Amino acid sequence: MAVTLMQIVLDFLWAFSALALIALSLGLVLGELKVVNIAQGDTVMIGAYCMYAMRDLPFPVALLASIIVGLVLGAIIETLVLRRVYPGGFIGTLLACWGIGIVLQQIVAVVFSISQKGVTAPIAGTVEILGVAYPAYRLVASATMLAMVLAVLFLIYRTAFGLRVRASIDNAEMASLVGASPRLMRLSVFALATAMAVFAGALISPTLALTPTMGIYFIGPAFFSVLIAREGSIVGPVVGAAVVQSYFVLLKWLLPLTLAECILFGSLILLMIAWPNGIGWQFIGQFMGGYNGKRSRA
C-alpha cells in the first residue's frame, strides 16, 4: 500500500509540474491579452522539437537555447499576428491562434516529417524512494519546472515588472496612466508565456514520442486548470493544475486510461457549470503579495 501511494505521489509530481507551468503561461496570456491561445499546446511541441533539433549539443545548452527560441517566437507572433487582430475581438484572436497552431504543426512536419522522433534523457537510471524505483530524469525535470513556476510567480509578485503586469491585468487603461504601456505589456507577457511553454516542452521531450500534433494532449488539461481559477488570477491556474492533475492521477490508477479521461473532462465540464466564473483563490494571492485576485471585468 505504501509503495502504491508513493508511486501515485511521484506520478502526480511529474505530471503536475509540467501542467502547472503550461497552465500558468496560458493564464498569463488570458489575463493580460484577453486572448484564448489555443496554440499554446503547439508551443510546447516546438520546445520538444527544439531539443530534438539540438540533440547534439549539451542538454543544458539546448535547454537555454530553447528558452531564447520561445521568447523570439512569442515576440514574433504577438507583433506580426495578434497585434493586428486585437480589434477583431474574441473570435478574431481565437481564429488567429488556431491558425498559428496549424502553421507551427505544418512547419515542423515539413522540416522533421510526421514520423515519431525521440530525445535521449541526459540522466539515466532510477532513484529508489520508499521502495519505488523512479526515473531520475523525471525527478530532476519536475524540480526544474516547479522552480520555474516559483521564479515566474516571484517575478509577478515581487518585482516592478510584475506590479505593472498585475495592474495591467486588473485595468489596462488605468495602468497605462502610471507608465505601463499596454502594447509593451502585451508583448512582454506573451513572449514570457511562450518561453514558459517552450521550456516545459523541452524538459518533457525525453519522456515522449515527438509528433507535430502532440500539443493537443496538453492544451485541454491546461485550459481546464485556467478555467477553475477566477478570471485575472495569476496563482489560480497553478492551483487549478493541482486539482486537475491529482484527480486525473487518481482516476488513472483506478480505471483504464480512456475511461479515466472521459470521467475527467466530464467532471470538469460539470464543475464549470456549477462555478462558471471560476473558483476564487484570493487568499493565495494575498499571501504572495497582496494581490486581491478580483476580476477585471464583470
Q: In this predicted structure, what is the pLDDT of residue 69?
A: 97
Q: In this predicted structure, what is the pLDDT of residue 62?
A: 96
212-223 pLDDT per residue, tens:
999 988 988 898
Burial of 146 (0-12, 13-18, 19+ CB in 10 A): middle
- The answer to whether the CB of 22 falls within 8 A of the CB of 240 is no
- In this structure, which amino acid lies at residue 25? S
Q: In this predicted structure, what is the pLDDT of residue 287?
A: 39
Q: Where are the domains of the chain?
A: 2-289
111-113-116-122 Cα dihedral, nearest 10 degrees: -20
Q: What is the DSSP string of the chain?
A: -HHHHHHHHHHHHHHHHHHHHHHHHHHHHHHHH----TTHHHHHHHHHHHHHHTTTS-HHHHHHHHHHHHHHHHHHHIIIIIHHHGGGHHHHHHHHHHHHHHHHHHHHHHHH-SS-B----SS-SEEEETTEEEEHHHHHHHHHHHHHHHHHHHHHHHSHHHHHHHHHHH-HHHHHHTT--HHHHHHHHHHHHHHHHHHHHHHHGGGS-B-TTTTHHHHHHHHHHHHHBPTT-SSHHHHHHHHHHHHHHHHHHHS-HHHHHHHHHHHHHHHHHH-TT-B--HHHHHHHHS-----S--
Task: Taking residues 131-155, report their average pLDDT.
Answer: 94
Statement: residue 232 has pLDDT above 80: no
How does residue 228 score in pLDDT terms, banded at 50, 70 and 90?
Answer: confident
- Fold (topology level) of 2-289: ABC transporter involved in vitamin B12 uptake, BtuC (1.10.3470)
- In this structure, which amino acid lies at residue 20? A
Q: In this predicted structure, what is the pLDDT of residue 284?
A: 40
How large a percentage of the chain has pLDDT more than 90? 55
- Three cell numbers at 210? 515527438
Q: In this predicted structure, what is the pLDDT of residue 4?
A: 76
177: which residues sit within 8 A by CB, 6+ positions away?
none
Beta carbons within 10 angstroms of residue 158's beta carbon:
12
- Three cell numbers at 204? 518533457
First CA to last CA distance, the chain: 48
Q: Average model confidence (pLDDT) for the chain?
A: 87
**Whole-number Å distance between alpha carbons of 185 and 182:** 5
**Closest Cα to residue 189, out of 55, 82, 62?**
82
In this prediction the pTM is 0.88
91-109 pLDDT per residue, tens:
899 999 999 999 999 999 9
Q: Which of 28-32, 200-204, 206-210, 289-293 has the lowest mean pLDDT?
A: 289-293
